[in-house]
A and B are shown apart, each in its own frame.
Chain A
């Protein structure tokens, strides 16, 4: 059904310029709808997929148009050539604004884009020598002799060009969405910490996505030129940004079809609203308010035009997962203070390759903080962490995961609304990365890597025993299975050393036994494991060596038997303080 619709839409798009041969008005309107759809698509990248609201995408749209216009007017560059390079400055501006604002959180991006658009509007209005200010930059209609000699009229091949541009934009975004890049966007949207923990460099991915969005908006701006032919500072108007935002939200956030719907509506709407011209924008605002309150997901879901994730087939022969040997992890004098509280106090430890080391200690001993320090989620106050030859203190979590140093969280962190398989698949881009360009082009090399990613995801799922659950929503799994899934996700990053934070917490007896078997089996396959847990029976049975923390300090380490006999450990657990210690405590 969906496929038939796509084929019909394509056929209509190809036929449109010819069907509308004598209808330059409608042909122009359709071209305008296509331009708006590209613009909406670009805003949907940030608003829909990254969850970053933009109030100033007109900055990128206008910049693209002005760069092309200035190149045409001042250097006599052919309009059709500017389509290739004029979007680049908009992409760079996107990267800059994104870099400046996204590390602070979503609202800053909205403000930064709005401000950028206003700055550009003010500069373009006042730099009269360059831009002729409010009078506008006049561009001649870019006619193509060869096409006209074939009997095509300008509005026909302009429409064809905009539809081609839209097709290209949809294709690029569609391919990215079903690639490591798009998967990482979805995880980042869900949780930044989760994304970092599966090796996604969140900052870089976000900045790249915003740059792409800026570039697309710039492209839409260049495509807009033949329709307006006069470039004025109004291109940077907040109204245009608002229109684009509304196209993305009304059409359907985070859908491919949404901006197309929205673009068509907003090309036609001003024509139908002509009788209330002055209040048009106020009506837009009311529509926006109504959509937010009544149908926040937009129009696309109403028509069932979005496709659920299709789980690729499992490989016939289940492969075995294996792990590369880990280098030695050496922690020296690690200290973390939160204000007056010293959570981790001068802890030094070494994790040898192939070991299964347990960290135990009473509540508040600093076990989880220790994991967070080693995995890069919390910067240490003092101390040094070395992984193999490299000093990794202060590295980002995602870069550590790419080195092979992964962790899980106490509360299973998952993308609840995605399928079990998608959750694991997103993590496979860590060992099998793909560049933005390769994901768009999809050459044989990319396809082979994608097949390996899918296979690895299946292997990890099979290993934790969740193959049957692959197509279910992760959030619908029972608690124990969610914890298993979180382990499968970590395994998909191909770790060499895995740190598990209380994997047995909340599991029943059977589940805990299965977990212990699983951990033993992982260790046999060469994975080095650091385990934090309260289930002492399991820890004593499982671990080669146990490290005991108490009140931030390392008080003992040794084999399970040694630890069970250690006086300090017994004191820490049973509260056997001496009178002097009790006073100090």
Chain B
């Protein structure tokens, strides 16, 4: 039993890393643009789709598929930004209208893929081989997901803290007005953040596809889970998003040992309502900012 739980925990952490990356992008966009990008989950799904297309249809090696996924998804995200975010944001009721327009985009992306690709799951060949740690087996691909996840998180931390672009992003997040006063091109920083978050989502999608199969509906599940993560972690709180993403992945995997998978999902979704009711500021809101 313990072994099963440990095995599930390792699997859950892998999935949790994907949730963490998607939620991190969502919360970054919220922090800088003050909008909720509803289409973010579909960008993650498209990352997975690109991995399928590149490996099974084009026969490319997996490493190249990752690169292709990022490039393609960033290009699509640029289009989304151009059509549904950038021109809508300055209008009356901007942020809530962006919520609507990105909702429309998410429907469009999801339905287009569903209608052309079909609802069935597709396999993706990731890294082969596996590693045994006593009774627990961890595939090399899961290891890759975990390691790349950590590397990406460290890279984001480095960019935000140590580079000029990162300082500009943080300046815009704190006060757009003040950022403008000191000569920062706010619109450019917004777009940059949006595309950066899209790239992270694409990598997450392409990384997780070999683990949990690709389906066109993986984006819908991911966006709701990311919302749960972001609400529990505190809206706009990056650390909260990462920690809660990993925790939820873990929880989902452990729950699936005790109940049907769908019910586990329902329980996790219900956490959102519970947190909204009893601790709306999130778990990590202790420190005032």
Contact = CB atoms under 8 A, between A and B. Distances in A.
A164 interface: no
Interface string B100-130: 1101110110011001000000000000000
Interface string A94-123: 001101110110111011101110110011
Given A114-B224, A115-B272, A122-B265, A249 B100 contact: yes
7 contacts: A108-B276, A111-B231, A279-B115, A292-B88, A292-B104, A293-B83, A293-B87
Interface of A: 51, 53, 55, 96-97, 99-101, 103-104, 106-108, 110-112, 114-116, 118-119, 122-123, 125-126, 238, 242, 245, 249, 278-279, 281-282, 284-286, 288-289, 292-293, 296, 339
Contacts of A97: 273
Nearest to A111: B227
Given A279-B111, A293-B101, A112 B276 contact: yes
Contact of B100 (A111, A114, A116, A288): A288
Given A104-B276, A111-B227, A115-B269, A285 B104 contact: yes
Contact of B103 (A101, A106, A115, A242): A242
Tell me whether chain A's interface is mostly helix, strand or loop, or mixed: helix
A292 B85 CA distance: 11
Contact of B276 (A101, A245, A278, A296): A101
Given A119-B269, A282-B112, A292-B88, A104 B280 contact: yes
B270 interface: yes
A123 B265 CA distance: 10
B231 A100 contact: no
Interface in B249-289: 260, 262-263, 265-266, 269-270, 272-273, 276-277, 280, 288
B245 to A, nearest CB: 16
B111 A285 contact: yes
A53 B100 contact: yes
Given A107-B96, A115-B273, A289 B115 contact: no
Contacts, number: 111
Given A97-B273, A100-B276, 6 more contacts: A55-B103, A110-B36, A119-B273, A122-B263, A245-B103, A288-B100
Nearest to B266: A122
A456 B132 CA distance: 81
Contacts of B269: 115, 118-119, 122
A242 B100 contact: no
B223 to A, nearest CB: 9
Contacts of A53: 96, 99-100
A92 to B, nearest CB: 14
A115 B101 contact: no
B93 interface: yes
Given A107-B96, A289-B83, A119 B104 contact: no
B259 to A, nearest CB: 9
A329 B230 CA distance: 44
Contacts of A292: 88, 97, 100-101, 104
Given A110-B99, A285-B108, A238 B263 contact: no
